[in-house]
Copies of this chain bind each other. A is one copy, B any other.
Amino acid sequence: MTTPPASESVRVRRLPDRGAYDAATIHPILDEAPFAHVGITVDGQPFVIPTIHARIDETLYLHGSPASRLLRTAKGPTRVCVTVSIVDGLVLARSAFHHSMNYRSVVVLGDAVEVTDEDEKMRAFEALVEQVCPGRWEGCRIPNAKEINSTLVVKLALTEASAKVRTGGPVDDAEDLGLDVWAGVVPVSAAFGVAEPATDLGDGIGLPDHVAALGR
């Protein structure tokens, strides 16, 4: 038995077989995605802004400057849409029409509200830093009171969320299978290059394991 969507808004309409609504599908995609695109609406105009995100249990956190349009608006609370997308491959079919991508995406709808509790804010900062580079929180200077106060953190519950996943090879029409056209999948992934030390890095500070681990 599959988990049903939490609301009509979040139901996957196009190619519903690719949709899923269970935490076991949604959480790993949110956790793997390096960043998110957040949608807000201001005076009828949608805005889509790239930003980093982090999940703690059933809550999604975003952060930014108190002056940012995104989070100033989201202070309300305001309806937002947080979407993450991971591309796993280009799907090259015989026909242009059946070209596709293998991907894993999650859409979260919800009311973003400001986090005011200082302990919760600190846990959100930790999760945000760890989302980008696991192990980094222990390896850097954590925020002081001034920095905590000058950063806005908002959260939304992972109640209205859906995942959409495509895997596998191209699916061509029967009449195209005989064409002299190469078809298949080209895998895509994110790659980390060689870490470049800051020009003002002190002598004798070697590359820490948590940074070296990114390349593996």
- Evaluate contact between B191 and A195: CB separation under 8 angstroms: no
Q: How many residues of A contact B (CB 8 A)?
A: 94
Q: How far is the CA of A30 from the CA of B35 in the complex (A)?
A: 18
- Evaluate contact between A85 and B44: CB separation under 8 angstroms: no
Residues of B within 8 A of A193 (CB): 89, 186-189
- Evaluate contact between A182 and B206: CB separation under 8 angstroms: yes
- Evaluate contact between A46 and B80: CB separation under 8 angstroms: yes
Q: How far is the CA of A196 from the CA of B184 in the complex (A)?
A: 5
Of B97, B129, B170, the contact of A143 (CB 8 Å cutoff)? B97
- Evaluate contact between B140 and A96: CB separation under 8 angstroms: yes
A13-B69, A41-B46, A45-B81 known; A183+B197 contact, CB < 8 A: yes
- Least CB separation from A95: chain B residue: B141
Main secondary structure of the interface of A (DSSP, over half): mixed
Q: Indicate whether A39 reaches chain B with its CB closer than 8 angstroms.
A: yes
Q: Indicate whether A2 reaches chain B with its CB closer than 8 angstroms.
A: no
Q: How far is the CA of A192 from the CA of B201 in the complex (A)?
A: 33
- Evaluate contact between A79 and B44: CB separation under 8 angstroms: yes
Can you report 27 residue pairs joining A to B where beta carbons are below 8 Å apart? A14-B69, A34-B188, A37-B39, A37-B50, A38-B48, A40-B46, A48-B81, A50-B85, A94-B141, A96-B136, A96-B137, A96-B142, A96-B143, A169-B198, A177-B200, A181-B205, A182-B197, A183-B198, A184-B195, A184-B196, A184-B198, A185-B196, A186-B193, A186-B215, A187-B194, A188-B190, A188-B193
Q: Which 5 A-B pairs have the closest CB atoms?
A: A187-B193, A39-B46, A191-B191, A39-B48, A37-B37
